[in-house]
């Protein structure tokens, strides 16, 4: 029966994929809409008929990768991105229990526990519209944003380009955002929905990160083998971070970041201050030592104010606060960034954003487009910066590794270079959500092969002894 539904959905999706070139070429927005609806209809047959179990099947994953993703690549990347967000409920789900080796607990974040270290980077779900489906896809955490205080359209289109030959993307979105008010309403609604009903209580001995009035509410997942229960628990246990930035026309950057932090501190499992996008004029100047210090001091103070309002007892200090940096930095600049981050009291660093470099190895016709380059070409560079940042922090705060991850080996390389958590984004443009389950399986196998009982045992394993953090 399941195979019959999959065959039916495959036929519908294949028809849409076959029609996509003509529709995209001659149909304008209406043609592109028909392509999207056709692709969604094919996947929808299986979803409606079998629900969670069907979306977790290997057949559905194969269908999505081989047919739906192929069809989406026939339309322009920003349109495909929009279809992916609007049809996120049809995305393949991961109904397999995560390998126990993949569980990560971060003491510095109040004992926060992730069922696995693979997260969705900011940039995919910019407006907070696909948090639940992406957690069901198997991510251990998702990051929404970047969100600006006021709505803004971002840069003119076209502003996103696939570099297919290079397994890369160039984007110059420019913080297109619905604004903090609209996005916070969606996040608050999601938060309310995932705490309703029969949500499990934290196990004895697990300290909550925040009070009932605010702060992270993610809970450890149960060991149920039922697909519906497991996916419910993925939503309950998955962390949701908020990535905040400044509006293009704002002169006082600290004010914008303060608004973002105060708005989302009571709603987010963690916060990220994004000072590293290359697509907002002057933004990367905020990474300079003095400017970064002033900005992070303001963000930390804003978090404290928001936490005090949410919990007047003072028992809660607010969600973990991280800063996201660029890969295009000198060793001296990185040293300054890390030193300022540690002195300001931030709780982690995301390494790294997109690059403005254009390696000579790029082959795509779009290689000269302006914007930030992500994907395979930035992987080695971002991992090198990550390794240096880990040596500089000496393990005092967690690092999140992002840049070019499309396999378990890539994630493992980031972990061995110092990442406690790893994020994926560009690879989704080529493989879609089925990528998540594969990356986790490969990562678990690599940990087992090398004798690591957990992700945390492998963190920083490739850092040279002279660089390695001092251990008690």
Rounded to whole angstroms, how far apart are CA atoms 133 and 404?
Answer: 22
Catalytic residue among 277, 364, 374, 406: 277
Q: What are phi and psi of 456, to 5 degrees?
A: -65, -25
Contacts for 388 with CB less than 8 Å, ≥ 6 apart: 331, 334
Nearest CA to 322 out of 409, 401, 417 is that of 401
Quick count: other Cβ atoms within 10 Å of Cβ 335? 15
Phi-psi domain of 412 (left: phi exceeds 0; alpha: psi -120 through 50; beta: other): alpha
Rounded to whole angstroms, how far apart are CA atoms 63 and 43?
Answer: 8
Decide if 276 is catalytic.
no
Nearest CA to 199 out of 228, 179, 225, 219 is that of 219
Residue 114 bridge partners (DSSP):
104
Rounded to whole angstroms, how far apart are CA atoms 377 and 348?
Answer: 25
Angle at which helix 331-344 crosses helix 376-393, to 10 degrees, equals: 60
Q: Are 354 and 278 in contact (CB under 8 A)?
A: yes
Q: Are 419 and 401 in contact (CB under 8 A)?
A: yes
Report, as residue numbers or ranges, the catalytic residues: 277
């Amino acid at each position: 029966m399941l195979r019959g539904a999959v065959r039916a959905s495959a036929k519908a999706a294949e028809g849409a994929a076959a029609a996509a070139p003509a529709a995209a070429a001659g149909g304008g927005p209406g043609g592109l809409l028909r392509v999207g609806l056709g692709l969604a209809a094919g996947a929808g047959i299986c979803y409606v008929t079998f629900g969670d179990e069907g979306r977790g099947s290997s057949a559905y994953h194969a269908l999505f990768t081989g047919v739906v993703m192929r069809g989406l690549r026939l339309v322009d990347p920003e349109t495909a991105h929009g279809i992916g967000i609007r049809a996120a409920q049809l995305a393949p789900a991961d109904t397999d229990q995560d390998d126990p080796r993949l569980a990560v607990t971060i003491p510095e974040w109040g004992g926060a526990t992730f069922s696995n270290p693979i997260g969705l980077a900011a940039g995919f779900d910019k407006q907070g519209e696909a948090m639940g489906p992406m957690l069901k896809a198997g991510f251990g955490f998702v990051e929404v944003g970047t969100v600006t205080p006021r709505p803004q359209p971002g840069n003119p289109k076209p502003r996103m380009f696939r570099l297919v030959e290079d397994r890369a993307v160039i984007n110059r979105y420019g913080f297109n955002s619905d604004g903090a008010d609209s996005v916070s309403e969606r996040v608050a609604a999601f938060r309310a929905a995932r705490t309703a009903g029969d949500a499990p209580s934290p196990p004895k001995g697990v300290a909550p990160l925040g009070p009932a009035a605010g702060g992270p509410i993610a809970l450890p997942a149960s060991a149920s083998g039922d697909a519906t229960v497991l996916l419910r628990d993925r939503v309950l246990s998955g962390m949701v971070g908020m990535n905040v930035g400044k509006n293009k026309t704002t002169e006082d950057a600290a004010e914008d970041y303060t608004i973002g932090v105060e708005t989302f501190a009571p709603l987010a499992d963690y916060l990220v201050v994004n000072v590293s996008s290359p697509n907002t004029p002057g933004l990367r100047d905020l990474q300079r030592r003095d400017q970064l210090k002033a900005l992070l001091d303001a963000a930390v103070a804003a978090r404290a104010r928001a936490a005090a309002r949410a919990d007047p007892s003072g028992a809660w200090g607010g969600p973990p606060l991280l800063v996201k940096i660029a890969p295009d930095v000198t060793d001296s600049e990185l040293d300054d960034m890390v030193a300022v981050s540690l002195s300001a009291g931030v709780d982690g660093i995301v390494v790294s954003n997109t690059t403005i470099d254009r390696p000579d190895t790029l082959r795509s016709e779009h290689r000269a487009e302006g914007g930030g380059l992500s994907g395979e070409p930035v992987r080695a560079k971002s991992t090198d910066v990550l390794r240096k940042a880990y040596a500089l922090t000496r393990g005092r705060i967690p690092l999140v590794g992002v840049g070019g991850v499309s396999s378990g080996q890539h994630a493992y390389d980031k972990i061995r270079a110092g990442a406690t958590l790893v994020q994926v984004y560009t690879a989704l443009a080529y493989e879609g959500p089925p990528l998540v389950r594969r990356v986790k399986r490969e990562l678990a196998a690599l940990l087992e092969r090398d004798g690591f009982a957990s992700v945390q045992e492998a963190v920083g394993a490739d850092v040279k002894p002279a660089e390695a953090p001092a251990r008690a």
